[in-house]
Structure 1
Amino acid sequence: MFTFLLVLQAVIAALLVTLILMQRSEGGGLGVGGSSSGLMTARGQADFLTRATAFVAIAFVGLSILLAGLATTRQADSTIDTSLTQPAEPVTPIAPIGGDAPATDSVDNDILSTIAGQAESTGAEEEDAPAE
């Protein structure tokens, strides 16, 4: 039903554009004059095109509101394809560059305690300490 209304909306839009372009404007427009009597006189044609444009414009706006309402309530059946999902691989810790200290397994360690631990293992504190 939504597709049918969408196609109908496109037809009404094309009809509305055609009716607007057929109307006589100050520059002459695309309106083609008919016989000198009856419905298609200059005045009769203007009244007919004006009324037809008003009715088609009302239909266009009404159908636009209806389509907007249907689009918000329309729910497509969507399924998630889980066949391509893979479990995450465990992360292996990486040893620091240029150091012999093993990488710690805990992420919660403070960076200062890690630096202090590396300094103790390399003997850096012994060099800074005064000799007795």
Structure 2
Amino acid sequence: MQNVVLIVHLLLALTLIGVVLVQRSEGGGLGIGGGDGNASAGRPPLTAMAKLTWVLAAAFIATSLTLTVIAAQQSATSSVLDRLGTPTAPTEPTVPSLPLGDGLLPPPVADDTLAPPPADD
């Protein structure tokens, strides 16, 4: 069921993109182009493409909501960590042991090779 709704949803999305791109720009959206500047002219009547856009948009929203409801019904009541069967926090702190002499540890205190040279006064 979810796969069928998802396929319909994707087809609606692609069709909606195509219909919007095919429509003629009426201008005025950003205040540039196409408009005659007459504010009292009102809105032009809806064309067939505009009505199709509204129908496709409503169907797209309906399939979005349907997919959300289906996903919520199929979701588990427990979290992923609960399903692993391991405790979420360790009971005892663990300290990783590093092998000595591999260059990850700082040099011993007695080693003065990395000390800055003394200042000449």
Q: TM-score under structure 2 normalisation?
A: 0.46
- With a CA cutoff of 8 Å and minimum separation of 6, indicate the structure with the bigger relative contact order: 2
Q: Which has the higher Rg, Structure 1 or Structure 2?
A: 1
TM-score normalised per structure 1 = 0.42
